[in-house]
A = this chain, B = another copy of it.
Amino acid sequence: MSAPEYLLRPVGYVRSSLKSRSEAPRQGNEGAPSASIEVEPAWRAGLSGIEVGHELIVLSWFHEARRDVLKLHPRNDPSLPVTGVFATRSPDRPNPIGLHRVRVLSVGDGSLEVEPLEAIDGTPIIDIKPVLQVADD
């Protein structure tokens, strides 16, 4: 019996001044710019209730990532010991999902301007969630 697979549908895309992985910081808090999330028309009603100043968790799909990496040097730094991919935040991972904590700067018609966001222009967005105040995740 083969393992199940699940289909992800992008709900939107990143529009950013960052155009390539080599330009992008490794984490949002390492100097990432603000960026826009443009939500597809079919899903825009799902943004209702999101307001300026809210803290969100944005999940992206690193469409340029490798999916066959099991161990690596964290931060691609050879001086750091090789470790399992699940103990790192590398974009190269079996399911290359990015997790970005951002603040809402403005809310447009089907779009959100947020910061900081280290994902590059064109990155698919697969989910948007509010930060829970109690759990702070």
Q: Are B94 and A43 in contact (CB under 8 A)?
A: yes
Encode A1-37 as 1/0 by CB contact (under 8 A) with B: 0011111111100000000000000011100000000
| Tally of chain A residues near chain B (CB < 8 A) | 52
> Using Cβ atoms and an 8 Å threshold, which residues of chain B touch A50?
84, 86-87
Number of copies: 2
Contact B3 A40 (CB under 8 A): yes
B99, A129: Cβ atoms closer than 8 Å: yes
**B-contacting residues of A (Cβ < 8 Å)?**
3-11, 27-29, 40, 43, 45-50, 54, 57, 59, 61, 63, 70-71, 83-89, 93-95, 97, 99, 101, 124, 126-132, 134-137
